Amino acid sequence: MTGSNEVITGSDYKRMILGAYSEFLNEYENINAVKKNSTFFYSGKPGSDVLRTMGAAVIPLNEAVNESIGGLSRRVADASVLGARGNAGVIVSQILRGLAKGLIGKYNATSQEFGKAFQYGILYAQKAVPDEKNRPIIVASKVVAKGAYDAVRAGRPISDVLIAAIKAGSESFSSDVDCGEKIMQVFLEGCLKGLQGNFTLPPLEFGSKVYEAKGIVSPLNDIARPYCVTFIVANPKLSVPLIEKELQEIGNFVVVERRFKAIFIHIHSEHPGRVLERAVAWGHVGEIHINIMAEPHAMAMVQQSCLMPLALLTVARTVEWAQKLQEAGAMVIVDGSDESGPSVEEIVNAAHSDVANKYVLLTDSEHLRLVMHQVKRILGDRVSVVVANNQEEQIYAVRAFFPNLSMEENVVQMKEAVQKVAQG
């Protein structure tokens, strides 16, 4: 076995991720064009979904202070997991999450260490769709992983590892290139171009007009806020409305409550340090808790008082349909008017409100199946998922929900309702 002395730095990783985003900017329409008829992976526009997921992932790189490869990969992964849209976006976010798991705690990484982390990423992509083992993207990821494994074991430089993975993937392609295969290939080719510095990208700090001219949603519109921050400010120097107004400029899901002589603050932010930096000017800060919402079950540790034990949360693409769902018994409606559907973060925020302690999450299409399951990984036992394929199945599932029953009983009834509609 020959060893490689190559070291992959945080700057190298940053270029790889930016290269991947750049490649998706160039290829997302081609990915949409190769979409085949399917009730699962190809619903919606998977190329657009992945592009927006990657857009959320690259934003933290714009102002990153931590230049370690472990720190940067963690920031990218957290943002992608919360910013993921559609089934395709969830799978790509899991690749990035696996990469981060393999690089955690490292300032730089050797070629072999990075190669092993890359295989972690492929493994996480496979785990994202455990019941779809024969999906082309899963088959392709396994082939890619094997090609990369041989190069990693031989101690090849990371560029050779990526080239081997690309070659293995392209040789395994079906005669008609599958959408999932295309996504995997574009990601790998983008990472390679990024590593080599061979890519072009509009400045991320530019406003939405630069992207709108190309018919693309600016990544600035998809900023993910993966960190749930709670703390107390004793003897505050500002009023609740003023603090609330200031926090809304740098985060979302802002809760500011007066508690005797102190103020309790709960906010979701992409920069916890920026929140606390402002807070120290308001009074004595204490009882600080920061939870990473992108981590499985992290939000289970966040305690809050709720109005009811169980509620039904679902998605509506129009105001009129939202009203019908509400009349049928849905308590929380998430805006689904965006072409790519709501992001994981939007659903987490809705389920993280004080409406209920537990939720049944109901999709309005297969396009959101993995998005809902990613929400479940974050919120754990607080939620269960029921998948509807269309509006007819959705409305019947809503009518089968009764808040006086347990979450488990409701899931059974709602799935039976969906199945009856599907069977005609």
184 domain-assigned: yes
Packing angle, helices 10-33 and 69-83, rounded to 10: 30
Per the document, the length of the chain is: 424
Domain hosting residue 280, numbered range: 227-292
Q: Are residues 166 and 46 in the same domain?
A: yes
Backbone angles phi, psi at 213, to 5 degrees: -65, -25
Q: Are residues 31 and 142 in the same domain?
A: yes
Q: Are residues 231 and 340 in the same domain?
A: no
The tens digit of pLDDT for each residue in 171-192 reads 776 666 678 888 889 999 999 9
302 domain-assigned: no
Taking alpha carbons only, the member of 397, 371, 373, 391 closest to residue 383 is 373
The tens digit of pLDDT for each residue in 309-349 reads 899 999 999 999 999 999 999 999 999 999 889 999 999 98
Q: Are residues 52 and 80 in the same domain?
A: yes
**Total of domains in the chain:** 3
215 domain-assigned: no
Last residue of one domain, picked from the residues 265, 292, 319: 292
The tens digit of pLDDT for each residue in 199-213 reads 877 666 555 666 776
Percentage of the chain with pLDDT > 90? 47
Q: Are residues 42 and 151 in the same domain?
A: yes
2 domain-assigned: no
Q: Are residues 150 and 189 in the same domain?
A: yes
Q: Are residues 192 and 254 in the same domain?
A: no
Cα separation, 120 vs 374, whole angstroms = 18
Has residue 398 got a pLDDT over 90? yes
Q: Are residues 313 and 249 in the same domain?
A: no
The tens digit of pLDDT for each residue in 241-279 reads 999 999 998 888 888 988 888 999 999 999 898 999 999
391 domain-assigned: yes
Contact by Cβ (8 Å): 204, 219: yes
Last residue of one domain, picked from the residues 292, 320, 338: 292
386 domain-assigned: yes
Q: Are residues 189 and 338 in the same domain?
A: no
Q: What is the CATH number of the domain that holds 284?
A: 3.30.70.3100
Amino acid at 149: Y
Predicted local distance difference test score (pLDDT) of residue 151: 82
Last residue of one domain, picked from the residues 292, 321, 339: 292
Higher-confidence position of 308 and 1: 308
Q: Are residues 138 and 106 in the same domain?
A: yes
Which helix (H) or strand (E) segment holds residue 309: the answer is: strand 308-316
Contact by Cβ (8 Å): 211, 202: yes
The tens digit of pLDDT for each residue in 399-422 reads 999 999 999 999 999 999 999 998
Contact by Cβ (8 Å): 62, 316: no
300 domain-assigned: no
127 domain-assigned: yes
Predicted local distance difference test score (pLDDT) of residue 39: 45
The tens digit of pLDDT for each residue in 28-84 reads 998 888 865 444 455 678 999 999 999 999 998 887 767 899 999 999 999 999 999
Q: Are residues 267 and 331 in the same domain?
A: no
Predicted local distance difference test score (pLDDT) of residue 1: 39
The residue behind tokens 């074991």 is 153
Has residue 362 got a pLDDT over 60? yes
Q: Are residues 181 and 67 in the same domain?
A: yes
Percentage of the chain with pLDDT > 70? 88
Q: What is the CATH number of the domain that holds 376?
A: 3.40.50.510
Q: What is the SS3 assignment for 2?
A: coil
